A and B are shown apart, each in its own frame.
Chain A
């Protein structure tokens, strides 16, 4: 008897902000199984453009997580009211508004980073990941889930972006996080680097042949690196080969 009663009471409505298995999957799926860059192959353009240094990649990732999460949230809240004929334009208005907010806030609170990113902030509007998630997810799901989906996809995008940027900055400039308070000089021809390739003694002598590779600084390098990421990812997860 007691069992029957309990199931009846527990059944009806799940709380609005539940965080169960399904919700966790929304966050973790885009990191690997449904990664926006390596599996859905979206947002490649910005991944090529901003990844020459880690710091701007990091800031762009944060901005994309913010824009993706909140545009998903707002689109989902409005999903029953958005007229189907103009839904894409409505989505664009929502995305563009959020991007403008990011732009104003960065300009007011972190002017130097804003200066460095300049045009790329505006280009978040055209980031296919965001519009893709609105179309594919937010229009058909509840706000909380859509929000989590946005965060997850932003994270998945950021993960790849920072991975690419670390490789490009390290081999292109010999530094990591250049321009930020935690700037690290890893390898280069002076004593300010951890591995000093011009040194007379110590570990640096093993790397005396080393020179920064300017190719890594240029956008084509990101294309090779992303392609290699996709290759590795699909070797590790063969069932993704025919997904996209």
Chain B
């Protein structure tokens, strides 16, 4: 049996050593992790314009991604009535935080990618899946209606079912060439179960992942809707 004072001394020394060690490692690796995270998020955004990139996202190195953001991508921040907020960069806007604000005070990140004289507008959307948050990026052409691509990610959807929105590359392929506007009316793109009746505005869902797919529909409908005031302003 050890005395109480020995135990206290032992535990104090142990925790001090451990705390010091962990803080050193944490701070030594913190910057590297932050860089990784930023690049990871950027890859998710430009995956929406994958077809128009110099090379597919999966083949681009981290430096290529950073370079592309420097040269070909313009970052804008919008408020809910479609006005530009000049003081901010789109990458500074965290949609997870924005969702906690009242709807009218939220900020929206918008990335404008220019390739071969064409402009592509990449919107960020965020919603709820079955278990936790889902989010994605959707890109439209400068007609503000034709979807050129989408990419999705999730916090913890079921692998093989809900997680297929990210893991199955054919899911985001299905969004290409869909329209979000029909004769001036906003339609968004719906993920439907079973048969697609209206191929311009609907995509086929994932069997076994109904709740996640409904979450994607809701997220797109609401999330893309937020950008409409800005698009209407540019158009007129």
Chain A interface residues (CB < 8 Å from chain B): 52-53, 81-86, 89-90, 93-94, 97, 100-101, 104-105, 107-109, 111-112, 115, 118-119, 172-173, 178-179, 212, 214, 216-218
Contact = CB atoms under 8 A, between A and B. Distances in A.
A118 B133 CA distance: 14
Contacts of A53: 159
CB-CB nearest 5 A-B residue pairs: A217-B160, A111-B36, A83-B2, A108-B29, A108-B32
Given A97-B18, A101-B22, A108-B33, A83 B10 contact: yes
18 contacts: A52-B160, A81-B10, A83-B10, A84-B1, A85-B1, A105-B25, A107-B36, A108-B32, A108-B33, A111-B33, A111-B40, A119-B156, A172-B160, A173-B160, A214-B161, A214-B208, A216-B160, A218-B160
Nearest to B167: A178
A97 B160 contact: no
Q: Which of B2, B14, B22, B161 has the most CB of A within 10 A?
A: B14
A107 B33 contact: yes
Given A86-B10, A119-B156, A218-B158, 12 more contacts: A52-B159, A81-B10, A85-B1, A93-B14, A93-B15, A93-B18, A94-B18, A101-B25, A104-B33, A108-B32, A111-B39, A115-B40
Contacts, number: 71
A85 B160 contact: no
A107 to B, nearest CB: 4
A83 B7 contact: yes
Interface of B: 1-2, 6-7, 10-11, 14-15, 18, 21-22, 25-26, 29, 32-33, 36-37, 39-40, 156, 158-161, 167, 208
A97 B10 contact: no
A86 B33 contact: no
A212 B37 CA distance: 33
Given A115-B40, A178-B167, A82 B22 contact: no
Q: Which of A52, A104, A118, A178 has the most CB of B within 10 A?
A: A104
A115 to B, nearest CB: 7
Contact of B7 (A85, A94, A178, A212): A85
B20 to A, nearest CB: 11
Nearest to A83: B2
A32 B11 CA distance: 37
Nearest to B27: A104
Contact of A83 (B6, B26, B40, B158): B6
